[in-house]
Structure 1
Amino acid sequence: MSSACRLLPIIASLLISVVHGLAEEPVIPAEESAAPPQPVPAHLELAKKLFDPGLADGFDFPAGGPEGKAPYTAKATRRKYAGWKVTGKPGEADADTGQPHTGEAWNGSGGGTTDAGQPIFAIAAGVVREVKETPRGPAVTIEHRFVENGALRTVWSTSAGLADVTLKAGDPVKRRQPLGTIANRGAGTTTQLYLEIRTQWPPPAEAGPAAGCEPPSAFIRAHRTLTVPAKEKSLIIASKKDYRLLYCRDGKVVEDLPIALSQKPLGPKTEDGDNRTPEGEYRIIQKAVGPFDGEWGKFLGSRWMRINYPNAHDARTALDAGRINKGKCEAILAANAAGKMPLANSELGGGVGIHGWVSDWPDGPQNLTWGCLSLREADLKKLYSLVAKGTVVIISP
């Protein structure tokens, strides 16, 4: 037998071993071999949260119609009564028990059990988080998410003293959806609705019973109408963190543009000359095409879109802090309510908007302006052609 023939069995054996070895080699699953997902940029994550379809568009009162003032007719006697008596504020002592109130008691003006069976409504859209028995009677707790001055907030309302409750945890509810009726629990108990609005849920065990509780009627009056970004036909979202500006239509991002910020980019604008960019919810109140006159005209580029800074929130915050007087605060509030240009020569400053620059700035974060948002020339012209007066502008930290 030739040497070549003698080698054939050895070669075959080696090949079989190699094949077996390959077959036993571990296979890496596709999901393990794939590159890790990249984090979503902050400005796109913000837009996703702002476009949440479950956000509340405003708050109504729980009884007596949306304004809480409508009369009611007693179920037992069919007698009509003028309206509702609301007592108690968080922290105040209850007249009967001496315990601090955590909310408000809603009683029909007819007294006694005349309000028994009256319907109680959800104060805003949300999701039921809990339905349970309480010393006041069955209670429904609803989580409400909403946008206030451009920021996402959450509160929890609890309506206690109910009957005929059919909701359960996890159920979505709409604004003014019936929750149940006021229960008549018999002699020795008060027939009433007890309403709480809390900024924390569950309530912190280590804090006092009224910790995190808002005065319900005052809160509702201050939040009757709210912006729902997904329902805005035209919307601008500016993220100072990412130095990006999104132009959106009907809840969808249309343009994603780089921006330059003010010379002091951190923190909201609070006073004239602080070189900071405002933070909050504003609207475009003026549009103009250059060239612009004056010492600073060249820094505006070819287009100018003014926002309504200071807005109502800026004015109230400044009044509370003693930075402006009541007269100037009221003037700013009145101008904003009428959709007009707010007072520009107060201690808060003014003349803030979106514009270009003397030339296009380089890539990367740029802190250039005295409080405005700046776009490169081509992006400025594009955005100017898309937005109209009245467009909502949300500027986020």
Structure 2
Amino acid sequence: MRLHRLAALVAASLAALVTLTTSRPTTGSPGGAGTAGPPGRTPAAPRRPRVTEIRIDKSDHTLELVAGDEILKTYRVAIGPGGPGPKRYEGDRRTPVGTYRVAGRFKGQFHRFLLVSYPNEEDRRRFAALKRLGEVPPGRGIGHSIGIHGVGGRQSAGVHKESDWTLGCVALDDDEIDEIARLTPDGTRIVITD
């Protein structure tokens, strides 16, 4: 008998928990304009818009988070010092140019890292053509592990953005990459331009 009561109590508790976590607060209440539901209930936080695209402009050193047609936020970034144009091969220190996706994320030496889906098909064709022309140094591949990342606490207050220093990645402050990672799902489109 005690087991049945305990099971009923657990079931009732779970039902109450589900009701609390899935119910939505009302937008109005008899208490007057501007109140949000019954007393004691906290209104839901406003929904963040879903980031649909990350735009990186190498010449302006900016990264924009975009939702539909709206630019949500713009950040100043550091890139690779390899100059304008697309990445040609591993070690050229160029930040790629093209359309990519967020291909994954992890934490590491640069705090947080959003993997860019470099190389894409266009990058592979370009690399093959350069290799045929003998413009790729011996032993060099196309490159890999391009990402958008923080600095891992190495520098602060954006000092690292005063010059381009990455091996081809895009770098921001640690708190900025944390914010971008929260707002950007895997698969988000990334457009990098000169």
The residue that corresponds to 2:77 in the other structure is: 259
Secondary structure of the residue aligned to 1:384 is helix
Equivalent AA in structure 2 for residue 395 of structure 1: I
* Distance change (3 Å), C-alpha of 1:379 and 1:312: same
The residue that corresponds to 2:122 in the other structure is: 313
Contact 2:51 / 2:65 at 8 angstroms: preserved in 1? Answer: no
* Distance change (3 Å), C-alpha of 1:349 and 1:282: same
1:322 aligns with 2:126: no
- The root-mean-square deviation of aligned C-alpha atoms, in Å, is 2.2
Equivalent AA in structure 2 for residue 244 of structure 1: T
Structure 1 position 265, deviation (Å): 3.3
* Distance change (3 Å), C-alpha of 1:283 and 1:274: same
Quote the Cα distance in structure 2 between the aligned partners of 1:323 and 1:373. Answer: 29
Quote the Cα distance in structure 1 between the aligned partners of 2:173 and 2:58. Answer: 16
Structure 1 position 368, deviation (Å): 1.1
How do 1:89-108 residues align onto structure 2 when only pairs under 5 Å count? Answer: none
1:359 aligns with 2:155: yes
Identify which of 350, 361, 371 aligns with 2:144. 350
Contact 1:283 / 1:307 at 8 angstroms: preserved in 2? Answer: yes
Secondary structure of the residue aligned to 2:73 is strand
Identify which of 162, 166, 170 aligns with 1:373. 170
> Could you list the per-position Cα deviations for residues 236-292 of structure 1 after superposition, in whole angstroms to 9, with x for gaps in the alignment?
00011111100001121001111011122322211011111001111010111x3x2
Q: Which has the higher strand share?
A: 1
Gaps of 5+ in 1: 1-231, 325-344
> Could you list the per-position Cα deviations for residues 45-99 of structure 1 after superposition, in whole angstroms to 9, with x for gaps in the alignment?
xxxxxxxxxxxxxxxxxxxxxxxxxxxxxxxxxxxxxxxxxxxxxxxxxxxxxxx
* Distance change (3 Å), C-alpha of 1:262 and 1:318: same
Normalising by structure 2, we get a TM-score of 0.65
Contact 1:270 / 1:318 at 8 angstroms: preserved in 2? Answer: yes
Equivalent AA in structure 2 for residue 252 of structure 1: E
How do 1:140-179 residues align onto structure 2 when only pairs under 5 Å count? Answer: none
Equivalent AA in structure 1 for residue 124 of structure 2: A
> Could you list the per-position Cα deviations for residues 186-218 of structure 1 after superposition, in whole angstroms to 9, with x for gaps in the alignment?
xxxxxxxxxxxxxxxxxxxxxxxxxxxxxxxxx
The residue that corresponds to 1:242 in the other structure is: 60
Question: RCO higher in 1 or 2 (8 Å CA, sep ≥ 6)?
Answer: 2
Secondary structure of the residue aligned to 2:131 is coil
Greater mean deviation of Cα atoms: 386-395 or 360-369 = 360-369
Structure 1 position 379, deviation (Å): 1.1
The ranges of structure 1 where at least 4 consecutive aligned residues each deviate by more than 4 angstroms after the TM superposition are none
Secondary structure of the residue aligned to 1:262 is coil
Structure 1 position 321, deviation (Å): 3.1
The residue that corresponds to 2:113 in the other structure is: 304
Quote the Cα distance in structure 2 between the aligned partners of 1:385 and 1:286. Answer: 13
Contact 1:243 / 1:365 at 8 angstroms: preserved in 2? Answer: no
* Distance change (3 Å), C-alpha of 1:234 and 1:346: farther
Larger radius of gyration: 1
- Aligned residues, how many? 137
* Distance change (3 Å), C-alpha of 1:323 and 1:303: farther
Quote the Cα distance in structure 1 between the aligned partners of 2:143 and 2:160. Answer: 29
Structure 1 position 378, deviation (Å): 1.7
Secondary structure of the residue aligned to 1:238 is strand
Q: Which has the higher helix share?
A: 2
Identify which of 84, 102, 117 aligns with 1:284. 102
Structure 1 position 365, deviation (Å): 4.2
> Could you list the per-position Cα deviations for residues 342-390 of structure 1 after superposition, in whole angstroms to 9, with x for gaps in the alignment?
xxx9711111010011223328642010110001122111111011110
Contact 2:88 / 2:126 at 8 angstroms: preserved in 1? Answer: no
Contact 1:323 / 1:347 at 8 angstroms: preserved in 2? Answer: no
Normalising by structure 1, we get a TM-score of 0.33
Structure 1 position 313, deviation (Å): 0.5
Contact 1:261 / 1:368 at 8 angstroms: preserved in 2? Answer: yes
* Distance change (3 Å), C-alpha of 1:233 and 1:367: closer
